Amino acid sequence: MTTREYDIIIVGGGLLGCATAYQLAKRKAGNILLLEANEIASQASARAACLLTRARTKPALMELVQETYDCIAEIEQLLGESLELQQCGSVTIASSEASLKEVEALEAAAGRFGIPNERISRERTKELLPWMEVSAVDVALYMPTDAFIDSALLCSGYARAARALGVELRSGCKVKRIVAEGDAVTGVELADGTVLHAPLVVNAAGSWANLLMRPLQVGLPFTPVRSHFWITGIDKERFPVNHPFTVIPDARAFTRSDVGALIIGLRESQCQSFDPSTLTDKLEDFDFNQAAKWQVLDEGAPLLKRYLPDIDDLGIAHYMAGPSCYVPDAKFIIGPVKRYSGLYTVTGCCGGGVAAGGGMGRLAAELMLHEEPFVDPALFVPERFGEVDPFSAEFQKRCADARSNKKGG
């Protein structure tokens, strides 16, 4: 049995773990180790829709997203290579009173934050989105500076930048448990029995985070909920490369370009949560319910049909499902876990890990290093729901409902 001292150990090599590692390293937080059970950026972070929507109505979210954009620029500088941010712009579509209100709120938020935005005509909408049936569009809000990014590339960008700044990355290294003595964490024990010591441990294990918390009798207030998208066959005329992504609240849908095909994200009316204790070590082995591929599309197609009339007969070349970690109030979980000194968490992405990851990592780093936080940390306190049992069906449903009732795409 070997031991080794670190200042900080981060468990999880997904977007949130890697972003936190980067933000800590940038702040010269000491000797940092990041542990990933599989490969870096290979799990949920490789299955995301990858939208970086700037304008938001939830508090602090715009700051967190802006931080991600800033990180991307910094990392490209640091590594001397492009992370291939695709600045395609976005179009939010309203076809009802309710969605018009959302668009107005987004306009106000964008205005406050200085994000370029304009309402565009149906003709202009058709130019930008050749596939769309624009007669269904009442209002289209265009934000030309929005972008998307390959989430796995972004994640490995955080990781490589962190490594360049001195963080030790270990993949294929599964953490068996977080070790605590009394009410203080002292390190982690690996699957092979090795114990690694550190006074600070960050649980950024995403969908698996509660499995690590369970022996410590801590329940983080989230559960994995299925998110998914469909990719059509390639048709570069209809789905031009890098045309704007869309958010269509009236269809509970988003779309974005994917090298000449269209990615369609749909949210079912009753989202599917998963008991974390049923998770497999690798998501590729996990059954997200393969039948959902067509059942959910079947449910969502009637709403989407107004905008994409041939959805029923459109060839669907691929389907991707992955877990998003949803919290009942659809806000992130960032900060110290009160029950143990030295234990921190950054999780509960609520489908926003790509867009907000850089900011979430920054807030986590600031809290760990006792710096002045750049957004209000009270919003993200892990204990804000009191004691919860993430392994109970009742709590899992609360989390699934947070996604079912999500506004926008």
- 394 belongs to the binding site for another protein (CB under 8 A): no
- Residue 290 binding another protein, by CB under 8 A: yes
**Least Cβ distance, residue 32 to another protein (angstroms):** 16
- Interaction between residue 52 and another protein (CB under 8 A): no
Stretch near another protein under the rule CB under 8 A, chosen from 23-31, 138-146, 150-158, 205-213: 150-158
Site residue total, another protein (CB under 8 A): 42
Buried b / exposed e along 89-100 (16+ C-beta atoms within 10 A): bbbbbbbeeebb
Query: Which of 40, 147, 225, 364 is close enough to bind another protein by CB under 8 A?
Result: 40
Beta bridge partners of 341: 184
Among 153, 190, 216, 367, binds another protein (CB under 8 A): 153
Q: CA-based Rg of the chain, rounded to a whole angstrom? A: 21
Q: What distance lies between CA 163 and its chain's CA centroid?
A: 22
- Residue identified by tokens 């509970």 is 252
Cβ distance to another protein smaller for residue 125 or 255: 255
Nearer residue to another protein within complex by CB, 303 or 320:
320
Nearest approach, Cβ of residue 329 and another protein (Å): 32
E-only strand ranges, 123-237: 139-143, 147-148, 168-170, 175-181, 184-190, 195-197, 200-203, 223-232
Q: Closest CB to another protein among 118 and 312?
A: 312
Q: Which stretch binds another protein (CB under 8 A): 33-41, 209-217, 364-372, 384-392?
A: 33-41
Which residues in 261-277 are b (16+ Cβ under 10 Å) and which e?
A: bbbbbbbbeebbbbebe
| Alpha helix ranges (H) inside 275-325 | 292-304
SS3 call for 210: helix
Name which of 139 and 292 has its Cβ closer to another protein.
292
Instruction: For residue 164, state whether it binds another protein (rule: CB under 8 A).
Output: no
Answer for the pair 231, 355: CB distance below 8 angstroms, yes or no: no
Dist. CA 278–CA 281, nearest whole Å = 10
For another protein, the closer of residues 260 and 377 by Cβ is 260
Out of 298, 371, 376, 389, the residue judged to bind another protein by CB under 8 A: 298
Assigned token pair, 243: 């045309």
42 binds another protein (CB under 8 A): yes
Whether 347 contacts 209, CB under 8 Å: yes
Q: Binding string to another protein for residues 302 to 331, with x set by CB under 8 A, is what? A: ---------xxxxxxxx-x-----------
Among 86, 145, 186, 194, binds another protein (CB under 8 A): 86
β-pairing, 51-52 vs 90-94, is: unpaired
Q: In what order do the strands lie in the sheet with 175-181?
A: 175-181, 184-190, 195-197
User: Any contact of residue 167 with another protein (CB under 8 A)?
Assistant: no
Binding another protein (rule: CB under 8 A), the pick from 282, 338, 371, 376 is 282
Q: Which long-range contacts (CB under 8 A, 24 or more apart) does 189-193 make?
A: 190/35, 193/1
Contacting another protein within 203-262 (CB under 8 A): 231-234, 258-261
Least separation in angstroms between residue 259's CB and another protein is 5
Whichever of 215 and 302 has its CB closer to another protein, that residue is 302
* Helices first, then strands: H and E counts in the chain: 9, 19
Distance (Å, whole) CA 255 – CA 53? 12
Nearer to another protein, 221 or 276 (CB): 276
Task: Establish if 88 lies at the interface with another protein (CB under 8 A).
Answer: no
Give the phi and the psi of residue 273 in degrees, each rounded to 5.
-95, 160
Nearest approach in angstroms of CB 242 to another protein is 9
Decide whether 139 or 231 has the Cβ nearer to another protein. 231
The contact set with another protein (CB under 8 A) reads 39-42, 46, 84, 86, 150, 152-153, 156, 163, 169, 171, 231-234, 258-261, 280-282, 284-285, 287, 290, 294, 297-298, 301, 311-318, 320
